[in-house]
Amino acid sequence: MLSRNSKTLTVLSACVLAATPLTAMPSPAMAGLRRGPVAHSAVVSADPVDWTPHVLDGIVNAFALVGGKVVVGGSFTRVRDADGTEVLPRTNLFAFDLATGRIDRNFAPVLDGTVHALAPGPGGTVYVGGSFDTVNHWPTHALTMLHLADGRTVHGFTPWVRGGDVYSLVAHGDRLYVGGDFHRIGDTRRPALARLDGRTGAVDPDFAITPGKPPRRARLKVYAMALSRDRLAVDGAFTTLDGLSRPQLGLIDIGTSPARVAPWRTSAYAPACWSAFPSYVRGLDFSPDGKYFVVVTTGGPKHRGGTGPTCDSAARFETYSRGTNIRPTWVNHTGGDSLYSVAVTGAAVYVGGHQRWLNNPHGSDTAGPGAVSRPGIGAIHPVTGRALRWNPTRTRGVGVKAFLAHKGGLLVGSDTTRLGREYHARVGMFPVR
């Protein structure tokens, strides 16, 4: 075995034995299955496993777990097995075995631009969104669906994203939610947000929620999405949803038909941060039970005008609160450093970016009173909102752009090569204790 964490490897192997990827499209019953948030009973280990592969350049932006395979997307050209010397060419997308870390030699699609978002598809497929114009040398802008068995595009999935790119994907049964800065899907006007038929890519006419009125100097954009049982959370460069005031963040009730904007509004992201960030919300994630969610932001330090109460922070909100000025349950500040990604497991709220500190509301590129060092990655208590003792550290760089919590642990994707004081180039995993 490749790792000293042999017990964890055994558990991971058992979790995926029955998950053999298929290449055919699924039955209707299979298509109705939903992949929800994963709960952990404890904080993950601070010691990363040894077998995750290395991405040798660029940045990792997204993960998807399809059966027993982890699909990795970003902007990169070369990868290598953890215990190997062979360098494999991979253009912005590759896959590896969750239990062994071995890179899949059969999955090597060619994309001519950055992958920003991934979501597991039906029957051994994966949805891929980003800023690309060709897939396997064929014209395919911003969104595609690929067979994991061989990297081929799925015949019949033709969404035709127009006027922009895709930055967020959420699969829900036989439907696919798509967020980005596009204008249309096919011939249908769908600015920044759409719901598609997961097999064909056709626009769902029963979902027409429209973001609008981006902040000054910003392009209309849905940056991140997350899904609970009956709520879709969306954040990005908008101030309205269907004409209702929702500054940078809103909830959509998908338990109704047609879907509608939920009676939930916060002013937490209405104040401006530094002028370089007209829109500053970034990652978000629901708790496993769906009762709350956490949003992370950039924004800029106070000495550069980052004066909003939620600049450079993580904040918890209660999903089923009602009102026009809902306040965060807690806010944890970095003191001037960006957070880009968040994963909520019930045991912890993991946050990643290029932060130096947590618990730092009075810092401005400095460690204020009570600040704790958490370089590049940290964990927050979901109830108190204070940093947990978990502190594996990572080289900060641009920051963590991707988390994926699964039954065996927490995957981390970034642009640097040191995680948990070890060499893990751009991909690493902390196992469940």
pLDDT, residue 182, reads: 98
SS3 per-residue string spanning the chain: CCCCCHHHHHHHHHHHCCCCCCCCCCCHHHHCCCCCCCCCCCCCCCCCCCCCCEECCCEEEEEEEECCEEEEEEECCEEECCCCCCCEECECEEEEECCCCCECCCCCCEECCEEEEEEECCCCEEEEEEECCEECCEECCCEEEEECCCCCECCCCCCCEECCCEEEEEEECCEEEEEECCCEECCEECCCEEEEECCCCCECCCCCCCEECCCCCCCCEEEEEEECCCEEEEEEECCEECCEECCCEEEEECCCCCCEECCECCCCCCCCCCCCCCCCEEEEEECCCCCEEEEEECCCCHHHCCCCCCCCEEEEEECCCCECCCCCCEEEECCCCCEEEEEECCCCEEEEECCCEECCCCCCCCCCCCCEECCCEEEECCCCCCECCCCCCECCCCCCCEEEEECCEEEEECCCCEECCEECCCEEEEECC
pLDDT, residue 283, reads: 98
In a domain, 323, yes or no: yes
End-to-end CA distance of the chain: 18
Q: What is the mean pLDDT of the chain?
A: 92
Q: How far apart are CA 245 and CA 227, in angstroms?
A: 21
Read off the pLDDT band of 35 (50, 70, 90).
low
In a domain, 387, yes or no: yes
Give me the mean pLDDT over the 135-148 stretch: 97
**331 pLDDT above the threshold of 70:** yes
pTM, 2 dp: 0.92
Considering its fold, how many domains does the chain have in total?
A: 1
Task: Compute CA distances 240 → 215, 244, 266, whole Å.
Answer: 10, 5, 12
pLDDT, residue 29, reads: 31
Give me the mean pLDDT over the 51-66 stretch: 98
Read off the pLDDT band of 16 (50, 70, 90).
very low
Give me the mean pLDDT over the 317-343 stretch: 98
Q: Do 378 and 358 contact (CB within 8 A), yes or no?
A: yes
In a domain, 225, yes or no: yes
Read off the pLDDT band of 76 (50, 70, 90).
very high
Give me the mean pLDDT over the 274-295 stretch: 97
Read off the pLDDT band of 6 (50, 70, 90).
very low
Q: How far apart are CA 234 and CA 295, in angstroms?
A: 10
In a domain, 353, yes or no: yes
Q: In whole angstroms, what separates CA 303 from the centre of its chain?
A: 30
In a domain, 112, yes or no: no
Give me the mean pLDDT over the 226-242 stretch: 98
Show Cβ contacts of residue 18 under 8 Å, excluding neighbours closer than 6 positions: none
Read off the pLDDT band of 372 (50, 70, 90).
very high
- The phi, psi pair for 420, rounded to 5°, reads 60, 35
Is there a cis peptide before residue 21, judged by omega within 30 degrees of 0? no
In a domain, 357, yes or no: yes
In a domain, 168, yes or no: no
Q: How far apart are CA 325 and CA 204, in angstroms?
A: 31
pLDDT, residue 304, reads: 81
Q: The domain containing residue 372 runs over which residues?
A: 209-391
To the nearest whole percent, how much of the chain has pLDDT over 70? 92
Tokens of 268: 């937490």
Show Cβ contacts of residue 383 under 8 Å, excluding neighbours closer than 6 positions: none
In a domain, 241, yes or no: yes
- Residues 180-198: pLDDT tens digits? 999 999 999 999 999 999 9
Give me the mean pLDDT over the 343-347 stretch: 98
